[in-house]
Structure 1
């Protein structure tokens, strides 16, 4: 179980009454993006304007490397670089890469212009001084997501082989600046970046966050806001839980009542909602502009009451149940013995795969308590074959290992300290046959678990999860006692279930400050993981989160700055 009985009260930075707080304004990317100096904004992707929070009075430069996630290698030294009114952002890339490099340069300019008040023109070609973005490095050690940041009196240079690395480098650069750089109105400087070199690559290729939009529907603006927050901490996967008993959240042309009727409610009986195909494409595109891959989930064969209520023929008895607005689990099941069930799965997967450019498609598979083991195995065999038919890699919750995972499948482990040995050994056996694991232990990284007994939101079935518990574990050895080898771990993911979550403020108060710690577990080398040093770096994120309008929980375990 989790750490019990924390007595300090939960304190949040702000409370706002609006249901949807819109996030910062960025114009959409175009191939030839014009500078919008007069408007003071230019960036990757489109987002509605957000309410500007109270100013953050933190103008101190960050020591090199004092960022989250911790960089792999830091060599401080030399004079700092100061951003001034004469600073330019110089894009240096091969012709094939220039468009992506310019997009990222414009994104950086959009971050810095409002708070500095500087024009920060984005120019292409070689030149000395300013902030230089170099894409197309021949340094293979940087991989697909790594970067090198070199800072000195004459300027800052970010170097990467691929756009993802350059984008991640920008996140480090912004964290090296004072927290007030995140404000949307002009602030006082100076805007200095410490001198030295950071060379940084991720520990795991998969660093994810899951958002449940089924229990309570989250609008496009709410999801985009979360994407921006995830990007700051180098998260690269957004797992969207699109269907459950309480709501179906994606339009399917061949089964239109899934969204129109199955999406018409949510926990507590609210209005629900769903994404049109155009809205879903917009989310996928926006996530990609922040270097996040969207992984859609249709939970099967259980957690399907919204579908069963929408189409009577999916039920074994041919009778559609009523819509469901409660929070119980395990009572629903598709009819594994009916051929129409597989027509349904084929249509849904086909349409969703066509909308999703990423490699993964998640088919759930958990808590199928109303499906017999025999039917479960038969169903998952056919469902996995359908996913592969449409060119996607199967992802399922770790109960998938109770069937036969197909070659290349990924199992998402959500067990916790009290999970039985038999279940852990079954998961380990699957890894020995080639199944990779994404680790989401519920008593460590389920962001809907309460911090302590005083936490108003969330649940506690896996115990209480304070910030230290969410951070202080090692993915490489978490299941080693069951026989899971380190190389079987693909990465980590922090799920956020929304039985009690409606607003963005509520989402943030549960995700932050635990999410940055999970991001560090996924990105930073194991040697950097130390709670005592991490909590100081996390504390320095407090003013930044305030400036960004993130309604974070002020854990008593973290030495947050006063004020």
Structure 2
């Protein structure tokens, strides 16, 4: 956004508010006023990510003991979303909120799938609220699920608590029509530097769901630990997964564990993107099997944080037997489209070997029905047709490296943007931040939000950008509270960059909506960083 645009936006928003008061639709953005609602009603559209279109109108709807959640008859998908919604609302409201077929009740909350609403796409929804009820309409079940996240944010933050709260429970009147800007909106959790249990991963999945994230990228292997069981190479997990940064016990996921993560993510309408980092970041594998090393000697397990020192032996045939087995078994466990093969920081691999390796490995991914994703160094080779390159460079990254990625984008390679000095969630907020690293610089909340993915990489066509992703590397992260501190409040802003129209992007408006998320974080038990850049509500 230009300086001129930023100065003009407040005047445009003021005009939008006048249009909204007249009942004319406005593209979502700043906190919107609402008619005939009291202070217990959150203004329509004051949520994160901000919706594409918001039209406040009429009276709010109040949840009462008579409220039912109505679904289309015999719709298993609608019932699953309805049960999820009821599970969120019942503990705090104390209401029964029975899920019923639409003909059994009137009013209440209706979840409606419509084959004619094709303009909403796979994830879009329409929320219509008034005195007599709330209707969520979507073309696909995922759209209903995304709409539910908006609905829960329209209710008071206390709705997230697991004990009964006083209410009232009101949803402002009007209409929201909403579709995502990008189809790929991801968050990465590094479970290799420090291992996180299935329950800890599920907790993060639930947090991601609230902000309409749809991809969970799991970094399953690195120098410090191999975290997924591979039957044909069992020592990868049992030995290679037996430690972590600092020398802790490590751990790994059995195939049943991984399937449970995939299942749970799917229940929150997220796709798991597994990553096996190749050919570097492989010390855990090299330590597990001596034959993967060029000299046939297994190195010791590694518990430090250096990068770039390890490499599979590119000339050996057994290397590709190994890669084939790992990708085959992992692809069989993963119903999603993508499989991430890493490719970054392969400093111990010559350029010629790197290119040769990627020429052999990318077809293996395709053989097992998956689409390649790789860190942007993949563009130093020849990305496979349809591959996605995940750009993690900095503002200070050399023009030559940026141009290499941009050239690949011009030739058809899609881009996921994860600039480290914008959206790496493990970067310190300030020099005083206790957790995290600072090699990419300090990344406060405004910096993580205030950039435009479509125009970020010089020379890359806007249409090549398929989405954004916020990685959380875990050299210094080892427990839930650490995840909370580093992901929140930056993660919601990255989610908004991925979901909301570019026209809504404005820091001044966003920080007010983000501040309103503070009580919701607290109700959810998220121990977030109280950035001084955000006007958080006073503690009560």
TM-score (norm 2): 0.92
The reply to whether residue 108 of structure 1 matches residue 85 of structure 2 is yes
Who is 2:330 aligned against?
352
Identify the match of residue 159 of structure 1 among 137, 148, 152. 137
Matches within 5 A, 1:28-427: 60-92=40-72, 95=74, 98-126=75-103, 127-427=105-405
Who is 2:499 aligned against?
523
Aligned residues: 501
Distance of 1:477 and 1:547 partners within structure 2: 36
Counterpart of 1:222 in 2: which secondary structure? helix
Alpha-carbon distance, 1:59 to partner: 8.5
- Cα shift readout 1:260-293 (whole Å, capped 9, x = no counterpart): 0000000000000000000000000000000100
Distance of 2:39 and 2:193 partners within structure 1: 41
Alpha-carbon distance, 1:92 to partner: 1.8
Distance of 1:176 and 1:429 partners within structure 2: 43
Distance of 1:225 and 1:139 partners within structure 2: 33
Distance of 2:330 and 2:158 partners within structure 1: 41
- Cα shift readout 1:12-60 (whole Å, capped 9, x = no counterpart): xxxxxxxxxxxxxxxxxxxxxxxxxxxxxxxxxxxxxxxxxxxxxx993
Contact 1:250 1:275 in 2 (8 A): yes
Distance of 1:137 and 1:410 partners within structure 2: 31
Looking at secondary structure, tell me which structure has more helix per residue. 2
Contact 1:62 1:176 in 2 (8 A): yes
- Cα shift readout 1:173-228 (whole Å, capped 9, x = no counterpart): 00000000001000001000000000000000000000000000000011000000
TM-score (norm 1): 0.88
Contact 1:212 1:241 in 2 (8 A): yes
Contact 2:41 2:60 in 1 (8 A): no
Higher normalized contact order (CA 8 Å, seq sep 6+, divided by chain length):
1
Distance of 1:389 and 1:137 partners within structure 2: 34
Distance of 1:244 and 1:284 partners within structure 2: 21
Alpha-carbon distance, 1:140 to partner: 1.3
Q: 1:59 to 1:551 in 2, by over 3 A?
A: farther
Residue segments in structure 1 that go unaligned for 5+ positions in a row: 1-57
Alpha-carbon distance, 1:136 to partner: 2.8
Distance of 1:92 and 1:233 partners within structure 2: 26
Residue segments in structure 2 that go unaligned for 5+ positions in a row: 1-37
Alpha-carbon distance, 1:137 to partner: 3.9
Distance of 2:58 and 2:96 partners within structure 1: 27
Who is 2:14 aligned against?
none
Counterpart of 1:158 in 2: which secondary structure? strand
Alpha-carbon distance, 1:61 to partner: 2.1
Identify the match of residue 548 of structure 1 among 524, 534, 537. 524
Distance of 1:86 and 1:137 partners within structure 2: 29
